[in-house]
Amino acid sequence: MQIRTFLAEYLPVFGKGLLMGICDIIPGVSGGTVAFITGIYGRLIAAVAHISPIIIRDLIRWDLTSLKSRLLEMDILFLVILSAGIGLAFLLISRVMLWLLHEFPVQTNGFFFGLILASS
């Protein structure tokens, strides 16, 4: 896979993972909702549906052909890049949320309440 094609396909996935991670930190807002809004929900569900314990069996037996085909079915690259975005957002934004809750508790809680009302 060429680097330009890789970046064009997976850089937006990483960005959507960042958005999902940010929304997972905010109370009342779901990262799954963001996945649906950004158009990756179907791909995410399909990838997660292909996760199976058979992968562990293939790894123990060192059946690399079967393992590779199962990982490709699972869309492992998509899941890893999306998870990296979610994880990075957790690390970066959690400190910001704590600071906002400490310095601006009324405004931050009001914002959270507004988001919960809007999503309802």
Task: Using alpha carbons, list the distances in angstroms from residue 74 to 66, 71, 78, 82.
Answer: 12, 5, 9, 13
Domain residue spans of the chain:
3-119
Alpha helices (H) in the chain, listed in sequence order: 3-25, 31-38, 41-49, 54-61, 64-73, 76-103, 105-119
Per-residue pLDDT tens, the chain, 120 aa: give them: 577 777 788 899 999 999 899 888 877 777 888 888 888 999 999 999 888 888 888 788 887 888 788 878 888 899 999 999 999 999 998 888 889 889 999 998 888 888 777 766
| Close Cβ partners of 8 (under 8 Å, ≥ 6 residues apart) | none
Name the region of 72 (left: φ>0; alpha: ψ -120 to 50; beta: rest).
alpha
The pTM of this model reads 0.78
pLDDT in tens, 61-87: 887 888 788 878 888 899 999 999 999
